Amino acid sequence: MTSFKVALVAMDADTLPAWVSETMTANDIEFVTQECETRAQLIACAGDADLVWVFGGSRVVTAERLADLPRCGALIRTGSGVDNMPIDAATKLGIVVANTPQAYNDGVSDHAIGLLLAVVRQIAVQDRIVRAGIWNRDVAYPNWHVRGQTLGLIGFGHIAQLVARKLSGFEMTILAHDPYVRADVMANHNAQPAALDQLLARSDFVSLHCPLLDETYHLIGERELRLMKPDAILINTARGPVVDETALTKALTERWIAAAGLDVLEQEPPSLQNPLFSLDNVVITPHIAGYTDQSLDDSWRLSVETVLAFAQGRWPRSYVNHNVKPRWNLQRS
C-alpha cells in the first residue's frame, strides 16, 4: 500500500501531462485528480489525502472545509499569489501552504516593464490610430521618458527585484516599500527603502508587486492616488483589488495621475461597461503577465518537485506561512 496520498482538486490547465502521474507512481505516491467545485466532491476526492493540490485560481479549499481534510498536512497552490488559499486557518492547523512563484517571476517582471514602456511610448494608442488610418505623431505623442526617472516598487519580493535588475540599464532611482523585506536586501538591488507615502510622492512610475491580503486590499485608493505626481504612471501586475478601481478611474479621468498599465482588475473577467475601457490613458491586458512559452511546463515541474519534497519529509522550495508549526516533521534540504 502507498502511504502518501495527493489529491489534485482543481486544474486550470487543459490537460494533465502523463509524466506527472508516472512520477507519482514511481515514488509510491497515490495520486487522484478530480475537478472539485462542491464540498461533497472535495471530501470524496481529498478527504483522506495527505496533500491537497490546487492548480490555479479555484477557491474550493476554504477555511471551513479544512475540517473535511483531517490528514492534510500541506496545500499546494500552483501559481504565485495565494489569495485563494485559507492561509491563516491552515497555519493554525499546522498545514503548510506552498506555491510555485518561480514559474512566473520572469514573465511577470517582463510584463510589468512591458506595460510601463507601452504607456510611456504610447504604443497601444499609436497602434489603434494607425489601424484607423491616422498617421499623425501628435495624436499620441509620448510625453514621458524613462532614463533617470524614479521608480517606486510596492512590494519587494522576487518579481520586484527582477524588475529592478532588468531596468538597471535605464539608470533610474529605485524606491522600495515592503515591511517584510530588510533594507540590506533592498540595497543589494540598488533600491532605497521608503515609506509608502514618500514613495508615492516621489516616484514618476509606481509598480505594484504585493500580495492580496486584508492589509493590502485597496492599498492604493483615493488618498494614495492624490499623493502621486500628476504626470505619474501606475502599473499593476499584482492583484486587481490592491487598487480601488473606482478611485483609479476618477484619478485617470481627472488627471490626478497621468496613466496606468493594468494586467489585473477588481472583477475578472470585467464587465464590458467598465469605465476604464473608455480611457486612452490606460493599457489593459487579461491577467496574462506570468505566462510565457515556458511557464506551464515550469508550473508542473515545480509543483511535482514540491509534492516530492513533502512526500520525502522535506520543506518545499517555496511556502508562504513561515510561522507555521507543521503537522509533519519536515527537514531542510
54-105: pLDDT as tens digits:
998 899 999 999 999 999 999 999 998 899 999 999 999 999 999 999 999 9
53 and 96 belong to one structural domain: yes
Is residue 327 situated within a structural domain? no
**Backbone torsions φ then ψ of 132, nearest 5 degrees:** -85, 5
Q: Please tell me the distance from the alpha carbon of residue 183 to that of residue 194, in angstroms, as a whole number.
A: 9
Residues 154 and 61 in one domain: no
Instruction: Let me know whether 115 and 20 are in one domain.
Output: no
Same domain flag for 298 and 195: no
Examine the domain organization and report whether 87 and 232 are in the same domain.
Answer: no
Cα separation, 130 vs 125, whole angstroms: 9
**φ/ψ (deg, to 5) at 271:** -70, 145
Residues 166 and 251 in one domain: yes
Q: Which domain holds residue 36?
A: 4-103+294-311
318 occurs within a structural domain: no
CATH of the domain at 44: 3.40.50.720
Q: Are residues 155 and 247 in the same domain?
A: yes
- Same domain, residue pair 155 and 255: yes
Encode pLDDT of 5-16 as tens digits.
999 999 987 899
**74 and 112 part of one domain:** no
pLDDT band at 1 (very low <50, low <70, confident <90, very high): very low
Active site residues: 239, 268, 287
119 and 64: one domain?
Answer: no
- Condensed to tens digits (0 to 9), the pLDDT of residues 189-231 reads 999 999 999 999 999 999 999 999 999 999 999 999 999 999 9
- Within a domain: 289: no
